[in-house]
Amino acid sequence: MAGDPNILSDFILPANQSVVDGSFFTFTGMRVLIGAPEPTSFKVLKASLAEFPALNGQSVATAVLLFPADAVNPPHTHPRSAELLYLVFGSLQVGFVDTTNKLYTQTLQAGDMFVFPKGLVHFQYNIDSKNSAVAVSAFGSANAGTVSVPNSVFTTGIDDNILAKSFKTDVATIQAIKAGLALKP
């Protein structure tokens, strides 16, 4: 079972910390969003266990997703949590695939929320070719994990012949996909 363990105290301090005050429970990493210019590439700002140690044992995390026009958050999964996405502004096409390979999609407008069930492959796409979009995601785990489908398939060293056979294509096509992923920031 993958998930956050139950804790037997109010909160958990890091091993190297014995004194705590209000600043331990404060995350300031999202301040960079205030007055920031519109995004030029897809970007995620996270407040998960890695960035915010006070979340240890609390079974929560959040992320802000910044979508420039026509940007995509590629298919991915969160193996340890569902994701609840709230669209602050803009429009997004979102979707997930269930375990029977059925695709569920929706076009969201500002103020809409959408839930991606735990562990299922999902995506978000800014369908607007001129305007950016911003969404806030909430997770029921301090460490939801993210497994990018393109990266896990094409950048982890799986043999090109295996990928070509799996995708019913040729090695040259697989190598072209890999080269395209290598160019991305």
* Each residue's pLDDT tens digit, 156-179: 899 999 999 999 999 999 999 999
76 marked among binding-site residues: yes
Domain range for 158:
148-184
Q: Quick check: 185 pLDDT over 70?
A: no
Q: Looking at residue 124, what DSSP letter applies?
A: E
Structure tokens at 20: 């705590």
122 marked among binding-site residues: yes
Same domain, 108 and 154: no
Element (H, E) at 161: helix 160-166
Same domain, 159 and 140: no
Same domain, 134 and 163: no
Contact status, residue 128 vs residue 70, Cβ threshold 8 Å: yes
The residue-averaged pLDDT of 99-126 equals: 98
Same domain, 28 and 98: yes
Among 2-11, 40-49, 76-85, 158-167, where is mean pLDDT lowest? Answer: 2-11
73 marked among binding-site residues: yes
pLDDT of residue 106: 98
Would the pTM count as exceeding 0.75? Answer: yes
Residue among 112, 125, 177 nearest 151 (CA): 177
pLDDT of residue 7: 85
Contact status, residue 27 vs residue 52, Cβ threshold 8 Å: yes
Q: Quick check: 127 pLDDT over 60?
A: yes
